[in-house]
């Protein structure tokens, strides 16, 4: 009976496939609603569709960034206060290499990948020695040093110091002004690919050990697992995804702001997965959507008071949905299915009995 | 005599506290040995010291002739030592099957041991798709023991298997542990003297971080004074 409770492959993926189909059609549907023909949308003409694409790209970037945080915090249980550094390294390296060194995007991305591995290794140096809140504080220290570096005048030529990095020439084929629709689909494809990769990782034996480490590292050690290797694997994958999100941010945004390296930006990732559901992966996607749309909607209609209302809403979400939107949904739907199963067991006759007769 | 596990005069510190101040445990191959003592005597710390989770600073821990001191916990486990911690230490977010599969040391371990595990704990087969957190206390304890059976462990360290369980479940657990003894040597920490005396052939009493007495369980059962002095039971 319990085996029947486990969702089938279609049931597991159908929500995401429907969402993906909706995301693929979104620019054209919005265009049609505003009286824009698909040809105008394809030609990147100005209008609501182009604006919505921009907003959606920001959601994808936030989602990828939050997804990377969910892997190390939600799945593996590593509380890092320096996660913004993973994102900022990707963004600043992309900006600086393209602007100051004139590197093409593909070469830049190779450097970003290399840097993402290096920063994960840097964080991993302290992994065997510190745990819990101490690890969080050490990572905060590392990220703060990086934040100070990009804000420093000495590196201002490359980073733009406290003003931020501006004037990066966007790659022609992904220029957010002239090729926004392509950028939209590239960002969507990147998010979907990374989500699939993360899902495969979490469902793999390696991912299950990461979940075991989150629950109790000592128990995982007693089973014969060198937990350091698993935490390092999660850090590497997380750092890579966050750096890619940063690179995408650099391509999309006109200014690479230094706040993306601050503690506040790490808290943003934490907030997104708290809204969506910690350790669910899907929660990062849902949380990013809610976070960005709430922020945008409230700022548009409430101006300066938006931050206050925003904060209040987050507090209410955390109080009334302690497992986040996805986590609570999963729990309630499981309870519902178990309830139906119990009712089904209690009924002495089954609807099919009559038909059989 | 040749022992499978030979612990000699270990001293373990947790922070600045000197918890074990000279513990000796000699475990013959194929036996069930009970570590007895009052709460806080150092029984669980002894198990953790053997495993390298709280490494001893002094003394020797030899398993099948090999020195374990200095090895990391995961290396100790890989030698064939399984640990069933107290409080039914299963992974609550993993399913029953995932809890068992995660203990595989070599691919195929679970497939080979599946039939044996389900013959010992038939309930687990029925609950295979449920998450560990959804199981009752007794079922979690069975799962914790079953998990230690997945790899080919030569030695099983079981901490308080009867803690918090109903008498009928304890009976089942004891039968399972007796069955386990045909597969592996067992070291048992047990607060319930009745359970320990029915399962173990040899015992070690630990008092305030020191091993104070050891011998055959059948002798201890008749030694009411020792039982009363060290275990508070009569």
> Which tens digits make up the pLDDT trace of A133-144?
899 999 999 999
Tokens representing residue A76 in the block = 């593996």
Residue A294 falls within a domain, yes or no?
A: no
Whether residue A208 and residue B94 make contact (CB cut-off 8 A), yes or no, is yes
Q: Whole-model pTM?
A: 0.84
For chain A, give the longest Cα–Cα distance: 86
Closest Cα to residue B102, out of A173, A211, A9? A211
Residue A290 falls within a domain, yes or no?
A: no
- Does the structure show a pLDDT above 90 at A219? no
Nearest CA in chain B to A207: B102
**Which residues from B are below 8 Å from A224, CB to CB?**
74, 77-78, 105, 151
A280 falls in which pLDDT band (50, 70, 90)? very high
Distance from CA of A221 to the nearest CA of B (A): 5
Q: Which residues sit opposite B207 in a β-bridge? A: B210
The pLDDT score that the predictor gives to residue A1 is 39
Residue numbers of the domain that contains A93: 15-263
- Does the structure show a pLDDT above 70 at A232? yes
Closest CB from B77, B92, B127 relative to A224: B77
Distance from CA of A229 to the nearest CA of B (A): 12
For β-strands B81-84 and B3-14, DSSP reports them as unpaired
For β-strands B155-159 and B58-63, DSSP reports them as unpaired
DSSP states of B97-165: HHHHHTT-SSTTHHHHHHHHHHHH-HHHHHTTTSBGGGS-HHHHHHHHHHHHHSS--SEEEEE-TTTT-
Q: Which residues have C-beta within 8 Å of that of residue B187, sequence separation ≥ 6? A: B5, B25, B27, B32, B33, B34, B35, B47, B50, B155, B156, B157, B158
- Does the structure show a pLDDT above 90 at A244? yes
User: B98 at the A interface (CB within 8 A)?
Assistant: yes
Ranges of each domain in chain B: 33-43+50-231
The pLDDT score that the predictor gives to residue A349 is 57
Residue A276 falls within a domain, yes or no?
A: no
Strand spans (E) along A272-351: none
Residue A139 falls within a domain, yes or no?
A: yes
* ipTM (interface pTM): 0.79
Residue A337 falls within a domain, yes or no?
A: no
pLDDT digits (tens, 9 = 90+) for A299-338: 888 887 888 888 888 889 888 888 999 999 888 887 787 7
CA distances from A206 to A154, A166, B90 (A): 43, 41, 17
- Does the structure show a pLDDT above 80 at B232? no
Residue A318 falls within a domain, yes or no?
A: no
Whether residue A208 and residue B127 make contact (CB cut-off 8 A), yes or no, is no
Nearest CA in chain A to B90: A219
- Rounded mean pLDDT of A267-295? 93
The pLDDT score that the predictor gives to residue A301 is 85
Give the burial string for A24-50 (b: 16+ CB within 10 Å, else e). eebbbebbeeeebeeebbeebeebebb
A211 falls in which pLDDT band (50, 70, 90)? very high
Q: How far apart are CA A231 and CA A336, in angstroms?
A: 35
Tokens representing residue A57 in the block = 């790209």
Whether residue B85 and residue A219 make contact (CB cut-off 8 A), yes or no, is yes
Nearest CA in chain A to B80: A224
- Does the structure show a pLDDT above 80 at B118? yes
pLDDT digits (tens, 9 = 90+) for A82-111: 999 999 999 999 999 999 999 999 999 999
Strand spans (E) along chain B: 3-14, 17-28, 32-36, 58-63, 66-67, 81-84, 155-159, 185-189, 202-207, 210-216
For β-strands B32-36 and B185-189, DSSP reports them as parallel
**Which residues from A are below 8 Å from B72, CB to CB?**
221, 226
Closest CB from B93, B105, B130 relative to A215: B93
Q: How far apart are CA B178 and CA B158, in angstroms?
A: 13
Better pLDDT: B147 or B88: B147
Tokens representing residue A270 in the block = 């934490």
Burial class of residue A356 (count of CB atoms within 10 Å of its CB; 0-12, 13-18, 19+): exposed
CA distances from B118 to A43, B103, B106 (A): 64, 16, 20
Nearest CA in chain B to A205: B102
Q: What is the CATH number of domain B33-43+50-231?
A: 3.40.50.300
- Looking at mean pLDDT, say which of A60-69, A209-218, A343-352, B157-166 comes out highest: A60-69
Closest CB from B92, B105, B151 relative to A215: B92
Nearest CA in chain B to A217: B91
Are A222 and B85 contacting, i.e. CB atoms less than 8 angstroms apart?
A: yes
pLDDT digits (tens, 9 = 90+) for A38-89: 999 998 888 899 999 999 999 999 999 999 999 999 999 999 999 999 999 9
- Rounded mean pLDDT of B92-104? 90
The pLDDT score that the predictor gives to residue A7 is 60
């Amino acid at each position: 009976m319990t085996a029947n409770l486990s969702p089938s492959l279609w049931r597991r993926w159908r929500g995401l496939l429907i969402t993906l189909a909706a995301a693929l059609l979104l620019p054209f549907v919005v265009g049609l609603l505003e009286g824009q023909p698909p040809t105008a949308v394809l030609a990147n003409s100005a209008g609501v569709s182009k604006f919505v694409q921009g907003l959606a790209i920001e959601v994808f970037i936030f989602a990828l960034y939050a997804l990377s945080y969910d892997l190390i915090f939600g799945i593996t249980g590593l509380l890092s206060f320096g996660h913004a550094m993973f994102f900022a390294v990707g963004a600043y390296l992309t900006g600086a290499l393209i602007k100051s060194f004139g590197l093409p995007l593909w070469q830049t991305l190779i450097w970003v990948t290399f840097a993402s591995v290096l920063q994960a290794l840097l964080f991993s140096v302290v992994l065997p020695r510190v745990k819990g809140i101490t690890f969080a504080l050490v990572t905060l220290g590392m990220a703060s040093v990086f934040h100070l570096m990009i804000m420093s005048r000495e590196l201002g030529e490359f980073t733009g110091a406290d003003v931020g990095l501006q004037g990066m020439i966007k790659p022609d084929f992904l220029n957010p002004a002239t090729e926004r629709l392509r950028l939209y689909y590239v960002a969507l494809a990147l998010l979907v690919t990374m989500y699939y990769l993360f899902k495969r990782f979490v469902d793999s034996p390696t991912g299950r050990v990461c979940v075991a480490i989150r629950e109790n590292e000592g128990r995982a050690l007693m089973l014969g697992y060198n937990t350091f290797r698993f935490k390092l694997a999660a850090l590497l994958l997380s750092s890579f995804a966050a750096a890619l999100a940063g690179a995408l941010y650099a391509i999309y945004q006109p200014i690479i702001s230094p706040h993306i390296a601050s503690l506040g930006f790490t808290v943003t990732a934490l907030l997104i997965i708290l809204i969506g559901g910690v350790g669910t992966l899907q929660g990062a996607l849902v949380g990013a959507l809610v976070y960005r749309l709430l922020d945008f909607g409230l700022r548009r209609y409430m101006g300066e008071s938006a931050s206050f209302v925003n904060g209040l809403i987050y507090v209410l979400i955390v109080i009334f949905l302690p497992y986040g939107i996805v986590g609570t949904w999963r729990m309630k739907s499981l309870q519902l299915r178990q309830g139906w199963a119990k009712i089904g067991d209690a009924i002495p006759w089954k609807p099919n009995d009559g038909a059989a007769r | 005599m040749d022992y499978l596990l030979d612990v000699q005069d270990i001293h373990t510190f947790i922070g600045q506290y000197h918890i074990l101040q000279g513990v000796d445990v000699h475990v013959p191959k194929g036996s069930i040995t009970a570590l007895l003592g009052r709460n806080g005597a150092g029984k669980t710390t002894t198990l953790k010291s053997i495993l390298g989770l709280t490494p001893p600073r002094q003394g020797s821990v030899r398993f099948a002739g090999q020195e374990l001191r200095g090895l990391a916990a995961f290396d100790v486990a890989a030698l064939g030592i399984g640990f069933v911690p107290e409080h039914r230490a299963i992974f609550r977010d993993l399913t029953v099957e995932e809890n068992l599969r995660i203990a595989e040391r070599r691919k195929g371990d679970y497939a080979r041991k599946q039939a044996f595990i389900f013959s010992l704990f038939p309930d687990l087969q029925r609950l295979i798709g449920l998450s560990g957190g959804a199981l009752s206390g007794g079922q979690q304890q069975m799962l914790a023991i079953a998990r230690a059976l997945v790899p080919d462990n030569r030695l099983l360290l079981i901490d308080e298997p009867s803690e918090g369980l109903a008498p009928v479940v304890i009976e089942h657990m004891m039968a399972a542990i007796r069955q386990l003894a045909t597969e592996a040597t067992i070291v048992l920490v047990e607060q319930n003297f009745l359970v320990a005396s029915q399962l173990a052939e040899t015992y070690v009493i630990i008092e305030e971080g020191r091993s104070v007495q050891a011998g055959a369980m059948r002798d201890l059962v008749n030694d009411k004074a020792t039982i009363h002095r060290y275990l508070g039971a009569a």
